[in-house]
Amino acid sequence: MLRTFVGFAILMLIAVPIPAADFYVDPDRGSAANDGSAERPWRSLQEVLDKGLVESRAWASLPYKSDSSLVPKHPGAPVKAGDTIWLRSGYYGDLVIQGHYNADCITIAAVEGHTPRFRSVRLRSSSHWALKGLHVSPEFGSGEKPRTLIDLESHGWQGPIHDIVVEDCVLRSAEDASRWSAEQWNELSCNGIEADGTRMTVRRNRLKNVNFGISVSASHSLIERNTIENFAGDGLRGLGDHSTFQYNLVKNCYDVNANHDDGFQSWSRGPVGVGTGEVVGIVLRGNTIINYEDAAQPHRGALQGIGCFDGMFVDWIIENNVIVVDHYHGITLAGARNCRIVNNTVLDPNDQRPGPAAIRVGKHKNGTPSAGCTVRNNLTSALSVQAGEDMTADHNLIVADPSAVFVDAAARDLRLKKGSPAIDAGVADLAPKTDIAGRARPQGGAVDLGAYESPAD
């Protein structure tokens, strides 16, 4: 009986999970000698990492190889997988996390109502971290301007990065760039977020006055509900396979250099360089891309909407996006296979060149034709879909008079007005089940054209 009871007790101990712990950092009132409790917070987040207060894992040896194994790092340290490090208001400087592969996510988060300020954040060769509610800007400190505000980086020697979350953060090169010259934009603007690796989540962040907004070479990642306002490069970049970009807002492009600016851009890389590979399985859903809000905006240029020029682009879904750009590339795939472009609204805000904004599917630059693509249920200022094997373009409407189609095109209200010819003019096959606002399709007798489904009377 004793042996049975002891065995049962051991099983009970194994089955009960250890509760996650909370730790606190306060740059103004904390101390390195404290224990990290709410009453006795630590002083510096970087000190917590550098002093080995985080239990994690690291590669047994370097350089990293594909068959490398992970071993314990700082075993017995107070902060463990599943814990949260809460940050109170104050200045945290430049944060670097390197070589920390956690068994479960460790969260670094702002205490509600607090503003933890960083000059830059870099996670290199690590996994299972979440950053929530950080404020990042070079204006918060002094020193050389960081190239990128939040950098999620794989490294050839140190190893890959994966399973990182960045959400509800506020990033800016400067609070006010309204009087910047073109030279100042090039000199002072930082890139927003760059993400290598696998399974990265970038959600609900606000980026302002940046060069490139969110650049993702990671695969199997989710980039959603971010706002990128005022940018000088590309708003979004997606270069990794099987990633989803959805419900992001990209607006106000500043044309200050030779970059061909895009709201979203992608290209392939292969054995012999750009354009010799494939980008597979990207979903672009419910994004809004606006060239400019103010026609008098300084350094206003012509923004390409969704520009993908060095395929092949394979098995893409582009649906429910609203694109308002002063360029003939509204949505362009140059070299596509088995892609669908369905229920998008693409509009040119004026009649100036370059334009009109179009949906285009054509050949790869090397002459390889697109094949197996469907372009359906779209509203667009122009349309150009190459003929070819299994290429389908149907139920699209060229918008010659926006006032006859939309509630208020001049104010970028691209919902369908009563009596719009786009209402009930589409087909359900391949159409998304909801519109950009989450309204179910169809509302009437058939699916509407464009990103918005008009409510039933």
Q: Tell me, yes or no, whether 296 lies in a domain.
A: yes
Q: Tell me, yes or no, whether 446 lies in a domain.
A: yes
Q: Tell me, yes or no, whether 100 lies in a domain.
A: no
Q: What is the dihedral of CA 176, 179, 181, 182, to 10 degrees?
A: 50
Place of tokens 């419910």: 286
Q: Tell me, yes or no, whether 249 lies in a domain.
A: yes
Q: Tell me, yes or no, whether 335 lies in a domain.
A: yes
Place of tokens 């000199």: 187
Chain segment 102-159, per-residue pLDDT in tens? 999 999 999 999 999 999 999 999 999 999 999 999 999 998 999 999 999 999 999 9
- Global pTM reads 0.94
The pair of three-digit structure tokens given for residue 178, joined into one six-digit string? 């309204």
The pair of three-digit structure tokens given for residue 21, joined into one six-digit string? 């712990």
Which of 314, 287, 286, 319 is closest to 432 using CA atoms?
Answer: 319
Pairing between β-strand 317-319 and β-strand 191-195 as defined by DSSP bridges: unpaired
Portion of the chain with pLDDT greater than 90, in percent: 92
- Give DSSP secondary structure letters for 251-267: EEEB--SS---EEEEEE
Q: Tell me, yes or no, whether 94 lies in a domain.
A: no
CB atoms within 10 A of CB 157: 9
Q: Is the pLDDT of residue 1 over 80?
A: no
The pair of three-digit structure tokens given for residue 449, joined into one six-digit string? 């054209």
HSE toward the beta carbon, residue 54, CA cutoff 13 A: 31
- Give DSSP secondary structure letters for 218-247: -BS-EEES-EEEEESS-SEEE-SSS-EEES
Chain segment 327-344, per-residue pLDDT in tens? 999 999 999 999 999 999
Q: Tell me, yes or no, whether 161 lies in a domain.
A: no
Q: Note whether 49 and 110 are within 8 A (CB).
A: no
Q: Tell me, yes or no, whether 306 lies in a domain.
A: yes
CB atoms within 10 A of CB 181: 12
Residue 16 pLDDT: 58
Chain segment 203-242, per-residue pLDDT in tens? 999 999 999 999 999 999 999 999 999 999 999 999 999 9
Range of the domain at 447: 245-457
The count of structural domains within the chain is 1
